[in-house]
Amino acid sequence: MSTAKDCIRAGEAVLGIEFGSTRIKAVLIDETHSPIASGDHAWENRLEGGFWTYSLEDIWGGLRSAYASLAADVKEKYGEDLRRVKAMGISAMMHGYLAFDQAGKLLVPFRTWRNSTTGAASKELTELFSFHIPERWSISHLRQAMLNKEPHVPQIDFVTTLAGYVHWQLTGEKVLGVGDASGMFPIADGTCQYDPDMLQKWEALVAGEGLAKPLTGIFPKVLPAGCAAGCLTAEGAKLLDPSGLLEAGIPLCPPEGDAGTGMAATNSVKKRTGNVSAGTSIFAMVVMEKALSREYDEIDLVTTPDGAPVAMVHANNCSSDIDAWARLFEEFAEAAGCPVDKNTLYGTLYRKALEGAADCAGLMSYGYVSGENITGLTEGRPLFVREPDVKMTLGSFMRTHIYSALGALGIGLEILTKEQVAIDALYGHGGMFKVPGVAQKFLAGAVNAPVSVMKTAGEGGPWGMALLAAYMARKDEGEMLGSYLETKVFAGSEASVIAPDEETKAGFAAFLARYKKGIAVEKCAVETL
């Protein structure tokens, strides 16, 4: 305790902040990279005007609340006011569209990664670049706005992601970490910069269509991990901490996306490593040794925070429908006079899934709260269906929903298997892995590879962001990110490992075959309900 207190008092702690889908979290770490304080704020996106969004008031009110929660935790634990830190970094959900005019005014409400409204632009750009451009990428949102002839397009001066926006307001710097930038526009191999050939094709495509500047003047400057990315201004300090205690001048590392912080938090930035992040959405990141043989609609090509090529399988939907069912069971327990806390509720439901039939015995679910690009859905309708003569048990019911949360991801991972993408280590993190041995076991069967969950997995993205900030502030000259994480953060770290078993492998394969066939039912639900 005294060591942490001294670290805070001396301004040697490092701060990471991440805007997740449902929670904004701040984590403070010491010189050993261990978390010593945290704070958070719950928030939710809204569907407004046909777009999933968060308001600017949501963003800044949530950030200040999360920081205040952290500062209160520091005060309670150590009796210290949080006045300065050695370094800090901002992370957030990747992709999306925040467009500003020359005066810095937001032109249209923030369009998040969750929107599936850019199909025409995605298709056009994929064909133009011969490179898969997903619907949620920033360039797809920009191009779709142009195709729709939205009146704000000629006024666009700057387009960025959520992390890039917050970093800009805190520092005045219009920059972005390469991992987050790789979800805006393709990055050229080995350069950590936007692909110049694709930029040229873009400019030829949009010539005369109303943009005031070339794309390199509209999108943020790209920086790899370890670079200095500006300092907290006096105005930025007041935005973050209206109490006035936080001092200006704190160095910030490049802002990153949640995929990059997940890689840092799981020590999976080296080749042949990968991680699966499972929460509101679910995505797998595998650092590749070589390029894929061709482009795939189901696979995004992005980068690690230090610019190495990554195959990303991203599914929009994961645990939201499970959470809805859990709330229903919670309501029943309360009505029956037997209320349960959240840990007991989720622990019981997840562990019952281990008792369910390996192939889910004729039960099927699609937890599509929103559209799902991998399976071709522009909207979602959460759906549970079963064959009429099967025995429906709680175990098989819960196993069905957890399998379903892995379903769209499993379709993409099948492609990586066929492409012979090597994975020596796959790490799971996020809310689905909080109950030990359940989602981890099912994921191992789905990917036919051992899955590890570290004891630090629960720290998640904000801790990963703090690690990237610490790397910038504390790395040795010439020290690469992978080496820094391996030797200074994860040396001697503990992890539980579950290898795939034949029963789960066969059961998930049978379920996935039915899942793919049943997509027609989900499409019908979207069309008719």
Among 102-106, 274-278, 321-325, the minimum mean pLDDT is found in: 274-278
- Mean pLDDT confidence for 113-137: 93
Q: How confident is the model at residue 460 (pLDDT cuts 50, 70, 90)?
A: confident
Query: 439 or 314: whose pLDDT is higher?
Result: 439
The DSSP element (H or E) to which 123 belongs, if any, is helix 119-129
pLDDT number for residue 373: 82
Of all residues in the chain, the percent with pLDDT exceeding 70 is 99
The CA distance from 282 to 407, in Å, is 10
pLDDT number for residue 455: 77
The CA distance from 18 to 26, in Å, is 7
The CA distance from 67 to 162, in Å, is 17
27 pLDDT above the threshold of 70: yes
Q: Which long-range contacts (CB under 8 A, 24 or more apart) does 477-480 make?
A: 480/306
pLDDT number for residue 280: 84
Average predicted confidence (pLDDT) for the chain: 94
- Mean pLDDT confidence for 159-168: 98
For residue 395, how far is the Cα from the chain centroid? Answer: 29
pLDDT number for residue 425: 80
376 pLDDT above the threshold of 80: yes
pLDDT number for residue 277: 87
257 with 265: CB under 8 angstroms? no
305 with 258: CB under 8 angstroms? no
Residue with tokens 């909207």: 379
The CA distance from 89 to 91, in Å, is 7
The total number of residues shown for the chain amounts to: 529
Q: How confident is the model at residue 93 (pLDDT cuts 50, 70, 90)?
A: very high
pLDDT number for residue 457: 63
The CA distance from 512 to 364, in Å, is 10
The CA distance from 198 to 265, in Å, is 32
- Mean pLDDT confidence for 59-87: 97
pLDDT number for residue 493: 83
- Mean pLDDT confidence for 199-203: 98
The CA distance from 118 to 419, in Å, is 28
1 pLDDT above the threshold of 60: no
The CA distance from 197 to 174, in Å, is 23
- Mean pLDDT confidence for 342-370: 96
Of all residues in the chain, the percent with pLDDT exceeding 90 is 86
Q: For 449-458, what is each residue's pLDDT tens digit?
A: 899 998 776 6
- Mean pLDDT confidence for 255-281: 91
pLDDT number for residue 2: 61
Structure tokens that stand for 192 in this block: 């950590």
